[in-house]
Structure 1
């Protein structure tokens, strides 16, 4: 099954197959969302560590190595690699959006200079690459990314990162609302569980983005040799 027929929701079961997107290298950028140290820390509590084990296995076994390879390929081809991360400007986090102040797991207090807020070493930005710091789920609404993309002439975003059903999805929807062409790479993303990951892919596919694998993307761009 190819990207043209996979990850279809109820709404798109009988829809025609989409045409191949036109991907101009000087109008395309790779956007890497929130793969930061905080998300890769193993829980001290044994029950929580076991509960999150499938997520960490997917990150270490699939997402990080494939995204790392994709970053290097894009850099070699002169395609922009852009990074987004969650962090607050103020130590007490007053500048965070409401979604990041809500009680529970999503209550993230990470000052911008803290170790936990930094992008993991395997996917760290190279000198000269844009890094936007956001206090919202969406990398578009929470930063000046919209202006930067406009200035650079970028019309297509290849979206990757974590978590599929939260900051990734929020960013995808914001980009689509601003009429960017969006491609989400399913093997370069992860959610807390595979069920959440798969569910969100079906929800946003074909309306807010096209969901495909990194291999399928490289083939469309003629970079699969």
Structure 2
């Protein structure tokens, strides 16, 4: 896993407030982040930020229209900040995206190529949005893929289960945080 990076996606105040189910998600994600750092695996944070009133939003995009209407992800709004329990540290990269995928409207591909990263470890909220969209793009880019199932969260637990148990295993490895930490632990 020398050329891997952990993507921590959309773990922003507003999103955590909506999705956190009280299952210990943030401490589990914190363990993954700390484990990545201990194994010298880069941690890349991905946040969604949209211009106020998003003049870039197409009326054809139901998802973005709903997000803008709800006031989520507006640039400068306090709810767009990364949750402090999993906040970046100096040296971590923060990438801003404009749509569901971590690659959409961001410089993530450039960041990965500049660091010679060829494998991604995905974590974030929501499984059926940023994680799924990013996984789709990653496999199209021939990137290796690991999904940390319990470091992903969705407002629909059944959808999370179906995607992590039935779809993601076709594309890459699906592990728990503990399984991944065991795999990357220095021997």
Fold match (TM-score > 0.5): yes
2:12 aligns with 36
CA contact (8 A) 1:93 1:109 kept: no
Could you say which residue in structure 2 is the equivalent of 1:46? none
Change (3 A) 1:87 1:219: same
CA positional deviation for 1:100:
4.0
What is the RMSD of the two structures over their aligned residues, measured on CA atoms? 2.2
Pair 1:122-2:85 in alignment? yes
Q: What displacement does 1:211 show? A: 0.9
Counterpart Cα distance in 1 of 2:9 and 2:32:
14
* 1:94 aligned onto 2:55: yes
Cross-structure match for 2:45: 83
SS at match of 2:160: helix
Query: Does residue 1:156 correspond to 2:156, yes or no?
Result: no
Give 1:92 shift: 1.9
1:219 is aligned to 182
2:27 to 65, 68, 73: 65
Q: 1:99–1:135: structure 2 CA closer, same or farther, 3 Å change rule?
A: farther
Deviations 1:57-76 (A, max 9, x none): 13xx2x21111012122223
TM-superposed CA distance for 1:170, in Å, is 0.5
Contact 1:38 1:116 in 2 (8 A): yes
Distance 1:106 1:152 in 2: 37
The within-5 A match list for 1:165-204 is: 165-204=128-167
TM-score normalised over the length of structure 2: 0.88
Higher Rg: 1
Give the TM-score normalised by the residue count of structure 1: 0.74
CA separation of 1:158 and 1:198: change in aligned 2, threshold 3 A: same
- In structure 1, C-alpha distance between the alignment counterparts of 2:79 and 2:150, rounded to whole Å: 24
What residue number does 2:36 align with? 74
Relative distance call for 1:75 and 1:92 in structure 2 (3 A) is: same
| Structure 2: gaps (5+ residues) | none
